[in-house]
């Protein structure tokens, strides 16, 4: 399967406290967080009149309630959760839409994470894209990136909340193969109906495959590839791919877990991230 073409657009620069930087990895996130603290401390060095502000230490500290929920619902340990929360708080300063989006009422959730009805802050799509590009080596086209964002955004609110940040990174960094198969299937199921159809496969492969200029009709090549993949993965021959079909296929050929586009981090990026996070 051909690799998705890397985005040709220049990397966007994200502003923070009047300074422009590019998010390139977790080390830079942490450095930016320290810079933010220093800036805030300098602002407080004046007369200090007016409303009392939350201390920097408290702002970057995960609450006991959120900590316990994250420990219960993810594979992360306390130190990892604390580190990820600091990164999260740093990243939301980049998100222009923080505190401007209200989530839909959540329902049917038995998890300790994600029971809140409203979202006051979170990581937006632009910052999320930078994290995936520069930290986890996920370079892909817009359709795939939007699908990854939607699967992470469990509350369907247009922002990645702290709870979903923990969930997503738990799966990225420590998720089991069965869980990662379900995640990839959810990303590829564009209309969320429980199946990957030929039309969805065509859209995914057409967007991510490199087209050769000499081809008169590259879409025909994609259609041929869709037919080949469908015959391989559609185990019960009903003309669409179910989660069960996908699970069986990946069980037989693990490399097909990202058959329709890259949506998982590279092993090298996972090791680097965890090492930086816990050092």
Q: Which residue has the tokens 């492969």?
A: 205
Flag whether 9 is in a domain: no
Please report the DSSP string for 190-250 in residue order.
TT-SSEE-HHHHHHHHHHHSPPPTT-S-HHHHHHHHHHHHHHHH-TT-SSSEEHHHHHHHH
Question: Distances in Å between the alpha carbon of 25 and those of 46, 112, 134, 155, 229?
Answer: 34, 29, 6, 26, 35
**3-class secondary-structure state, position 253:** coil
Q: State the average pLDDT over residues 242-255.
A: 96
For residue 113, how many other CB atoms are within 10 A of its CB? 20
Find the domain containing 188 and state its range: 16-33+57-278
Separation of alpha carbons 35 and 248, rounded Å: 49
| Model pLDDT, residue 56 | 61
Least trusted range by pLDDT, from 15-29, 41-55, 256-270? 15-29
Separation of alpha carbons 60 and 218, rounded Å: 50
| Model pLDDT, residue 209 | 67
Share of the chain above pLDDT 70, in %: 67
Q: Which residue has the tokens 């159809």?
A: 197
Q: State the average pLDDT over residues 264-273.
A: 94
Q: Which of 113, 107, 90, 93 is nearest to 170 (CA)?
A: 113
Number of domains the chain contains: 1
Separation of alpha carbons 63 and 189, rounded Å: 35
Q: State the average pLDDT over residues 178-202.
A: 97
Flag whether 199 is in a domain: yes
Separation of alpha carbons 58 and 271, rounded Å: 29
Q: Quote the DSSP letter at residue 23.
A: -
Q: Compute the mean pLDDT over every residue in the chain, rounded to the nearest whole number.
A: 78
Flag whether 25 is in a domain: yes
Strand-pairing partners, residue 196, are: 241
Strand-pairing partners, residue 195, are: 242
Please check the confidence at residue 107 and state whether its pLDDT lies above 50.
no
Flag whether 40 is in a domain: no
Higher pLDDT, 55 or 232: 232
CATH number, position 163: 1.10.238.10
Flag whether 50 is in a domain: no
44-80 per-position pLDDT tens digit:
444 444 444 555 667 789 999 999 999 999 999 999 9
Q: Which of 267, 266, 8 is nearest to 138 (CA)?
A: 266
Flag whether 44 is in a domain: no
Q: Is the pTM of this model over 0.85?
A: no
Flag whether 108 is in a domain: yes
Q: Which residue has the tokens 């989006």?
A: 101
| Model pLDDT, residue 116 | 44
Flag whether 273 is in a domain: yes
């Amino acid at each position: 399967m051909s690799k998705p073409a890397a985005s040709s657009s220049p990397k966007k620069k994200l502003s923070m406290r009047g300074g422009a930087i590019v998010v390139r990895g977790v080390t830079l996130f942490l450095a930016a967080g320290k810079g933010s603290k220093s800036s805030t401390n300098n602002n407080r060095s004046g007369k200090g009149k007016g409303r009392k502000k939350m201390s920097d230490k408290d702002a970057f500290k995960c609450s006991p309630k959120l900590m316990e929920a994250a420990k219960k619902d993810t594979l992360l340990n306390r130190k990892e959760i604390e580190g990820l929360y600091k990164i999260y708080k740093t990243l939301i300063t980049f998100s222009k839409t923080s505190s401007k989006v209200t989530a839909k009422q959540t329902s049917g959730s038995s998890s300790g994470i994600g029971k809140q009805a409203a979202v006051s802050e979170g990581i937006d799509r632009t910052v999320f894209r930078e994290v995936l590009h520069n930290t986890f080596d996920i370079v892909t086209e817009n359709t795939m990136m939007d699908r990854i964002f939607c699967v992470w955004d469990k509350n369907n609110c247009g922002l990645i909340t702290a709870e979903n940040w923990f969930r997503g990174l738990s799966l990225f960094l420590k998720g089991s193969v069965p869980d990662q198969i379900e995640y990839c299937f959810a990303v590829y199921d564009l209309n969320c109906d429980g199946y990957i159809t030929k039309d969805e496969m065509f859209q995914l492969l057409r967007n991510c495959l490199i087209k050769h200029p000499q081809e008169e009709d590259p879409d025909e090549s994609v259609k041929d590839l869709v037919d080949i993949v469908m015959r391989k993965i559609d185990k019960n021959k009903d003309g669409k791919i179910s989660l069960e079909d996908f699970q069986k296929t990946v069980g037989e050929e693990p490399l097909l877990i990202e058959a329709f586009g890259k949506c998982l981090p590279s092993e090298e990026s996972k090791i680097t991230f965890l090492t930086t996070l816990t050092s």
